[in-house]
Amino acid sequence: MELRQLQYFVKVARKQHVTQAAEELHVAQSAVSRQIHQLEQELGVLLFVQKGRNLQLTPVGKLFLGRVEGILTDLERVVSEVHEFMDPEQGEIRIGFPHSLGIYLLPTVVARFRESHPKVKFRLRQGTYNSLIRDVMKGEIDLSFISPFPEKHAHVSGELLLLEELYAIVPQGHVFAEMEVIRLEQLKNESFVMFSEEYSLRNIVLEACAKAGFNPNIGFEGEETDTIRGLVAAGMGVSMLPEMALTEISQLQPAKVKVTEPRVTRSVGLIQRSGEKLPLVAEGFRKFLLDFFHNRDVK
């Protein structure tokens, strides 16, 4: 059994398609198919079955995938530790983040850290609240920015970094566009552009609207802050976004309005797997981030 076979197997299992897996691996489709076939022959079991145009893991394939992912993660960690031992300044940091923090915050802190650690590499993974926690628990990433910050969790722990205010965004020319402050209740008759259900910002906005005494009328849903912002700017409704998601200037730019009664905030934290020591380079980055936010150096 070869390492390459395991890597190909995991990629096919994740993509559920040999062609797509081969494209990401930058190898021929026939090479991937051959390695999977050899792996199945060696194990004496079928790992995949055809389902339409896709491949689906068999029950034993699912069992094998869980074990192999753990083995490959441990191998990556060992290789990283060896590199760190030889030169701590040439390690790799695996960090996750939600999309709303990838516009401004993540590039800012990575660039600042690399000023004094120019050889350190970063492997970035964007995800939703649940997927980021899962990736930390599985050891696929070392650290993750997360929002809202989970105060108590059985498998991850970390530190609260900041509380960030959410603003109402409305189309330019809207009756509220020139106002400095509005009460959230004033948006009750508006059509909302909302994040889809797997995104934590959706629940934050829904809970705030409930406190203000109404359930928002959801006209459109999106999965990224750029989409939400663009739809609002195009006149499709109103929404609420964190301040850091509104720093970028684009052609489709909504108006930003402060909200009171209630004031809406989200918590942003940094998490790691509970009870596990971070690689040296990741621990250095964690300490850098705590100092960075302690000094409120986020602007």
Q: Is position 299 within any domain?
A: no
Give the residue numbers spanning the domain of 35.
3-71
Residue 115's pLDDT is what? 93
Query: What's the alpha-carbon Rg for the chain, to the nearest Å?
Result: 23
C-alpha to C-alpha distances, 77 to 21, 94, 125, 162, 258, nearest whole angstrom:
23, 10, 16, 30, 45
Q: Are residues 129 and 174 in the same domain?
A: no
Contact indicator for 236, 174 with CB cutoff of 8 Å: no
Q: Are residues 259 and 124 in the same domain?
A: no
Q: Are residues 42 and 61 in the same domain?
A: yes
Q: Are residues 209 and 275 in the same domain?
A: no
Per the rule left: phi > 0, alpha: psi between -120 and 50, beta: everything else, 97 is beta
Q: Are residues 261 and 282 in the same domain?
A: no
Q: Is position 221 within any domain?
A: yes
Total domains in the fold of the chain: 3
Q: Are residues 257 and 169 in the same domain?
A: yes
Q: Are residues 192 and 251 in the same domain?
A: yes
Residue 299's pLDDT is what? 45
Q: Are residues 175 and 255 in the same domain?
A: yes
Residue 298's pLDDT is what? 47
Residue 144's pLDDT is what? 98
Q: What is the per-residue pLDDT across 210-265, written as a single tens digit (0 to 9) for each?
A: 999 999 999 999 888 889 999 999 999 999 999 888 887 777 789 999 999 999 99
CATH of the domain at 39: 1.10.10.10
pLDDT lower than 50: segments of the chain = 297-299
What are the two backbone dihedrals, phi and then psi, of residue 186, each rounded to the nearest 5 degrees?
-70, -10
Residue 150's pLDDT is what? 93
CATH of the domain at 138: 3.40.190.10
Whether the full predicted model's pTM is greater than 0.75, yes or no, is: no
What are the two backbone dihedrals, phi and then psi, of residue 155, each rounded to the nearest 5 degrees?
-125, -10
